[in-house]
Structure 1
Amino acid sequence: MINKPTKKVLNGLKKKGYEVYLVGGCVRDLILKRIPKDFDIITSAELKEVMRAFSRCAIVGKRFPICHVHLGDIIVEVSSFSTSGRKFGRDFSYEFERPSGCDEKDYIRWRNCMQRDFTINGLMFDPYAKMVYDYIGGIEDIRKAKVRTVISANTSFQDDCARILRALRIAARLGFRFSKETSHFIKHLSSSILKLDRGRLLMEMNYMLAYGSAEASLRLLWKFGLLEILLPLQASYFVQHGFRRRDKRSNMLLSLFSNLDKLLAPDRPCHSSLCFAGALLT
């Protein structure tokens, strides 16, 4: 289920003696036997060493640097343990006790997982040892079909309000529910997403609507009071038709996106303009 470009990057770094792992949502999706939207690689190599390993490779991002490895028309993103801490903002791992019996390699993996958003995204997979590393209960939450923040939801969402939208997107795509704490703070802090710039909001909405889970995403946005913030005209449509927050019924807008979802997949999205045109039709 791992695509060829990703395998090529994994093999290229492994042959040079570096540790390589798949990390994040792609590991969760592989466990669930679902097609990942993309693959994230993390390695013990420095980014400059990744650059030397591949002929077409560039370091992108000043604040959160990663490597883009170009293989034909495909770009494979590679991060390094040495710089990945910057990507997640504040490093909360220092606020938690280091696990007992944790050697240096475990400590490096644990610290990286502690900086991620949700437990089900905090898994690492070594494809050569065929081993999944889980330090924060991600496997158990996959079994329970639950979205739960790694640290307290209040702290997590205040540190990065975009995680609220990410939580809804993940739950919609997988059909998962939220932990009680996560659900509470999604509602309580929903208005904080207005801090995000318009470009980021458009990107998050595109992820929700264009990859095969638009209907479920709209239902969750409506349930948690975010539809009024992101798509006020569509929220007004729901109100006019007497649609309740936990309503199981459908309406014209939901039916439209339900039919679109049947044609799409995480690795086969539609162009964002089609989604937003569909939303405006109502």
Structure 2
Amino acid sequence: MLYRLRDAGFSAYLVGGAVRDLLVGQHPKDFDVATDATPEQIKQQFRNCRLIGRRFRLAHVVFGREIIEVATFRANSDDGSGDRETHEDGRLLRDNVYGSIEDDAIRRDFTANALYYAIEDFSVRDYCGGFEDVMARRLRLIGDPEQRYREDPVRMLRAVRLAAKLGFTIDGPTADPIPVLAPLLAEAAPARLFEEILKLFLSGNAVASFQGLEHSGLLPVLLPESAAALQSNRSGALRAMLLEGLAGTDARVANDEPVSPAFLFALLLWPAYCKALIGLQAQGVHPEEAARRAADRVTVHQLNTIALPRRFSLPMQEIWLLQSRFSQRQRKRVTRLLAHPRFRAAFDFLVLRQSASPDHAADVEFWTQAQTQTNEELAATLGVEVPGDSYTDEDAVPSKRRRRRRRRSGAAGASGE
């Protein structure tokens, strides 16, 4: 791509995270290109190109499952020739004003992301001191930090995520405004914050990211009810469980194993659920009803900040609601729970709870054995007799009576209503 753009008369550079990661010995997961060609000119060069975005006009060049993102150099100031719109609070709503490579470097967020690899002489071009910062493993914003955060509050989350991923320290002037400006995150689109949460916790640096959110004061804005529950939990058991779960998430990512966002949010919002559940039970609400109401309440309240899709929120609630069923030892209920599609996730969650409290040790031991036992062995463990016929999967599902529709007599029935 770089050579084709050069041969067509344009300047083109590998830029941003790929250059930064290669300098610190990491393997880039994606590659970005910066060029002086406009999005329309880029599209003319590549048939496998599509233009996306309104806030930032970009070109995506597709090679099978790989996408190379190509951006035109952006200018720092608008001379009236471009398309830029700024909100009254300083947020950039649209920024499609094009300029030189020097302008583009100043427009980028962190100095470590403003490094350009040139194929002309195989050098790294540095216009903001980013090379020195990368070598010092330091994360520093370009320009006035407060203004840059006001332009895009999500940059505060990016600072925490990149510091956790790279093992960098956040430069003092870059870190200082974050606790004060943290409430600005509430103005970000909930769907965008959902994507940022996944990047923070599913990239293999979940523990460091969580600790960074705590240290920077961003956790109460991002997960307000969980942050409040953790603050009031004097024993620290909830925080210990959460960190244990995040460490397990990091291990799965390192081993290239899948991690479900539903399980992740069940973990992150568990402190909030526990606090809500205790409050409802203290009001005399029946335990099962209290569990359902607590799950709904926490989910609805969190949606004000993060757009958690139902395909994740519903399994998350099932993981919570199944926890109370692990103490049951009736044969049919045990078999039904083993056949439940969320059993494995709920059981893994129970094991995590044991890391915070030894009270669950007996349940973990029982259900660990139950998963490997035959029906006869399970019945013997429960102290019940096995029927003559073998137990089938049909017994694990409540029987449903077929409702017989009554025929209506008279004109209504005759007309087919």
Q: Do both share a fold (TM > 0.5)?
A: yes
Question: What aligned pairs does 1:36-75 form with structure 2 within 5 A after superposition?
Answer: 36-75=28-67
Q: Give the 3 Å change call, closer, same or farther, for CA 63–220 of structure 1 in structure 2.
A: closer
Task: Report what 1:102 is aligned to.
Answer: none
- CA drift of 1:18 comes to 2.5
Tell me if the contact between 2:74 and 2:100 (Cα under 8 Å) persists in the aligned partners: no
Q: Using the alignment, how far apart are the partners of 1:150 and 1:64 within structure 2?
A: 19
1:182 paired to 2:182: no
Which of 153, 159, 170 pairs up with 1:161? 153
Task: Report what 2:201 is aligned to.
Answer: 209
Task: Report what 1:120 is aligned to.
Answer: 112
Residue by residue over 1:8-51, the C-alpha shift from the partner in whole angstroms, topping out at 9 and shown as x without a partner, is x2333234342211111221111111122321111222222221
Q: Give the 3 Å change call, closer, same or farther, for CA 14–208 of structure 1 in structure 2.
A: same
Task: Report what 2:294 is aligned to.
Answer: none
3-state SS of paired residue (2:109): coil
Q: Using the alignment, how far apart are the partners of 1:220 and 1:239 within structure 2?
A: 16
The CA RMSD over aligned residues, in Å, is 2.8
**Greater helix fraction, Structure 1 or Structure 2:** 2
- CA drift of 1:281 comes to 4.8
Task: Report what 1:239 is aligned to.
Answer: 231
Tell me if the contact between 2:14 and 2:117 (Cα under 8 Å) persists in the aligned partners: yes
Task: Report what 1:104 is aligned to.
Answer: none
Which of 243, 263, 270 pairs up with 1:254? 243
3-state SS of paired residue (2:47): coil
Structure 2: segments with no counterpart, 5+ residues = 87-98, 272-417
Residue by residue over 1:203-225, the C-alpha shift from the partner in whole angstroms, topping out at 9 and shown as x without a partner, is 11111011111111110111122
Task: Report what 2:253 is aligned to.
Answer: 264
Tell me if the contact between 1:46 and 1:82 (Cα under 8 Å) persists in the aligned partners: no
- CA drift of 1:277 comes to 3.2
Tell me if the contact between 2:115 and 2:130 (Cα under 8 Å) persists in the aligned partners: yes
3-state SS of paired residue (1:262): helix
Which of 268, 278, 281 pairs up with 2:267? 278
Structure 1: segments with no counterpart, 5+ residues = 1-8, 91-106, 245-249
Q: Give the 3 Å change call, closer, same or farther, for CA 27–119 of structure 1 in structure 2.
A: same
Tell me if the contact between 2:111 and 2:128 (Cα under 8 Å) persists in the aligned partners: yes
1:150 paired to 2:139: no
Q: Using the alignment, how far apart are the partners of 1:214 and 1:27 within structure 2?
A: 23
Residue by residue over 1:73-121, the C-alpha shift from the partner in whole angstroms, topping out at 9 and shown as x without a partner, is 222211122689879977xxxxxxxxxxxxxxxx922111001111111
Task: Report what 1:247 is aligned to.
Answer: none
Task: Report what 1:130 is aligned to.
Answer: 122
Tell me if the contact between 2:164 and 2:212 (Cα under 8 Å) persists in the aligned partners: yes
3-state SS of paired residue (1:69): strand
Q: Using the alignment, how far apart are the partners of 2:205 and 2:182 within structure 1?
A: 20
Q: Give the 3 Å change call, closer, same or farther, for CA 177–122 of structure 1 in structure 2.
A: same
**TM norm structure 1:** 0.79
Q: Using the alignment, how far apart are the partners of 1:87 and 1:231 within structure 2?
A: 35
Tell me if the contact between 2:206 and 2:247 (Cα under 8 Å) persists in the aligned partners: yes
Q: Give the 3 Å change call, closer, same or farther, for CA 259–89 of structure 1 in structure 2.
A: farther
Which amino acid is 2:110 matched to? F
- Quick one: percent identity of the two aligned structures? 33
Structure of higher RCO (CA pairs closer than 8 Å, 6+ residues apart): 1
Tell me if the contact between 1:211 and 1:269 (Cα under 8 Å) persists in the aligned partners: no
Q: Give the 3 Å change call, closer, same or farther, for CA 263–61 of structure 1 in structure 2.
A: same
* Segment drifting more, 208-217 vs 12-21: 12-21
